[in-house]
Chain A
Amino acid sequence: MSVLSLENVSKRYRRGHRELVALRSVSLEVENGEVVCVSGGRASGRTTLLRIVAGSERPDEGHVRFAGTDLARASGELRRQIAVCNLRFLPAHGRDACDHVAMPLRATRVSDDEAGLLAHRALERVGAGDVALTPPHEWIPSEAVRVSLARAIVREPRLLIFDEPTNGVDPTERDDLLLLIQRLAHESGIATLLTAGDTASVTGADRVMRLSDGELLGRPPRAAAEVVELRRPSASESTP
């Protein structure tokens, strides 16, 4: 089943006495563990698309469903299963990487010690164990991306969103980061939606789509494999 599903989503912005059409009847499905990369040029609507998926904007038309529930009506509990990666690390959230990664756990019932342990584990998992005790201003861009990923996965989300993850990252480190995102998605079954600028790498994406002139081009997910119920051995078969 698709974790995320957009159906004929349209979005317009008012600019004085004119309106700007950002998205035109966009439909999109992202499955469990699938990495979908939406590429597009400037003003193609890709950031609007992510904001709508994150629930920070409402579409003018169409529906967004997350885990089968209309996103507009989803509970706070359900919404917390959507992790939005960003590279903002506010001083108020802590000093070092470990503090920032543990931050999302503070609102939960996890103890501080436990949160610290989980944060360390998440940082190790994304290959950022060595910056655990360093502050954000000491990180190079690829390390900031890794910490941001650790902060996203620490709460075990079902959907991960990242707007241009490799923006500003050194070209030689870029594909390693994208393959890391793919590995996290595949291993933990996290539906992952990324965006990529015109010339950004799409390595690791299971599916590449294109926002062109406000419309989304590309293929739907591969048809889900038919579910075949396993036949239980009958009593007579299981006795020797």
Chain B
Amino acid sequence: MVGNAELKPSARLAVLGLLLERPGWGYELVTRFDRTFGEPYDWRITSAAIYQALRYLERTGLIVPHVDEGEGAPEEPGQRGMRQPYRVSGLGARMMREWLAAPMSSSPSQEEVLIRLQFRGADDETLRAMLKRHAEACLAELERIAGVPARTRMERLVKEERRLVVQARLSWVDFARAELRGPDDARIRPIER
């Protein structure tokens, strides 16, 4: 962990990612968030949550006011309007990179999956590596579940639910890996003569 900021897969992290794509300001981020996550994936948050995230990210030094050469000096602190643009600081970029590099757990939230897929900011190879580590986390969880004794009916029901959820994630990894295959990795290919 770098600095004092705490990054969980939430609006804060999503806003940091959006600012990493390009600088932006409050209202612009509200619409960009909705276009990126709200409309397509039904992750809805209020505009107040976006402004709150901006304040938190600025306070912890992960984002800083953005100076646009073309528009002269930034406004005085304290007098910032709603259109104050921000960009990600070096610290913020490093935290985002570290968060993306950490393996996805065996039970990620929908928000975590969305943020990771949206901001991986790298090539398919990096995404394949992420999926592989996610699959390994799921397999470790399956091994743990495999060893859990289930004596009562309640224990059996809970164990079965948990197992099927983790296995569904592994099926998703299969699908994602197949989607990301490079041209040389096709499983059905013409025989060269």
Residues of A within 8 A of B (CB): 14-15, 17-21, 37, 39-41, 44, 175, 198-199, 201-210, 212-215, 217-219
Select which of A20, A41, A205, A217 is within 8 A of B135 by beta carbon. Answer: A217
Q: Are A203 and B140 in contact (CB under 8 A)?
A: no
Q: Can you sample 7 A-B contacts with CB below 8 Å? A: A21-B189, A39-B142, A199-B167, A202-B143, A204-B146, A205-B146, A219-B139
Q: Are B191 and A14 in contact (CB under 8 A)?
A: yes
The listed residue with most A CB atoms (<10 A of its CB), out of B139, B145, B186, B190, is B139
State the Cβ distance, B192 to closest chain A Cβ, in Å: 9
Q: Known: A202-B163, A212-B174. Is A20-B139 also a contact (CB below 8 A)?
A: no
Select which of B167, B178, B191 is within 8 A of A39 by beta carbon. Answer: B167
Q: Are A219 and B136 in contact (CB under 8 A)?
A: yes
Contact residues in A for B145 (Cβ distance below 8 Å)? 202
Q: Are B132 and A217 in contact (CB under 8 A)?
A: yes
Q: Are A205 and B181 in contact (CB under 8 A)?
A: no
Q: Are B189 and A19 in contact (CB under 8 A)?
A: yes
Interface presence of B11 (CB below 8 A): no
Q: Are B136 and A217 in contact (CB under 8 A)?
A: yes
Q: Which residue of A lies closest to B143 (CB)?
A: A208
State the Cβ distance, A202 to closest chain B Cβ, in Å: 5
- Excluding A15-B188, A201-B163, 20 further A-B contacts by CB distance (< 8 Å) are A17-B190, A18-B191, A21-B189, A37-B146, A39-B167, A175-B156, A198-B167, A199-B167, A202-B145, A202-B146, A202-B163, A205-B143, A210-B135, A212-B135, A212-B170, A212-B174, A213-B174, A213-B178, A213-B181, A215-B177
Q: Are A203 and B188 in contact (CB under 8 A)?
A: no
Cα–Cα distance between A37 and B171 once the two chains are bound (Å): 16
State the Cβ distance, A46 to closest chain B Cβ, in Å: 12
Q: Known: A44-B174, A175-B150. Is A21-B187 also a contact (CB below 8 A)?
A: yes
Cα–Cα distance between A175 and B149 once the two chains are bound (Å): 10
Interface presence of B67 (CB below 8 A): no
Interface presence of B100 (CB below 8 A): no
Cα–Cα distance between A19 and B163 once the two chains are bound (Å): 35
Q: Are A208 and B171 in contact (CB under 8 A)?
A: no
Interface presence of B164 (CB below 8 A): yes
Cα–Cα distance between A17 and B191 once the two chains are bound (Å): 6
Contact residues in B for A17 (Cβ distance below 8 Å)? 190-191
Interface presence of B93 (CB below 8 A): no
Interface presence of B173 (CB below 8 A): yes
Q: Are A39 and B170 in contact (CB under 8 A)?
A: yes
State the Cβ distance, A87 to closest chain B Cβ, in Å: 23
Contact residues in A for B167 (Cβ distance below 8 Å)? 39, 198-199
Cα–Cα distance between A118 and B132 once the two chains are bound (Å): 46
Cα–Cα distance between A21 and B185 once the two chains are bound (Å): 9
In residues 126-162 of chain B, which contact A (Cβ within 8 Å)? 132, 135-136, 138-140, 142-143, 145-146, 150, 156
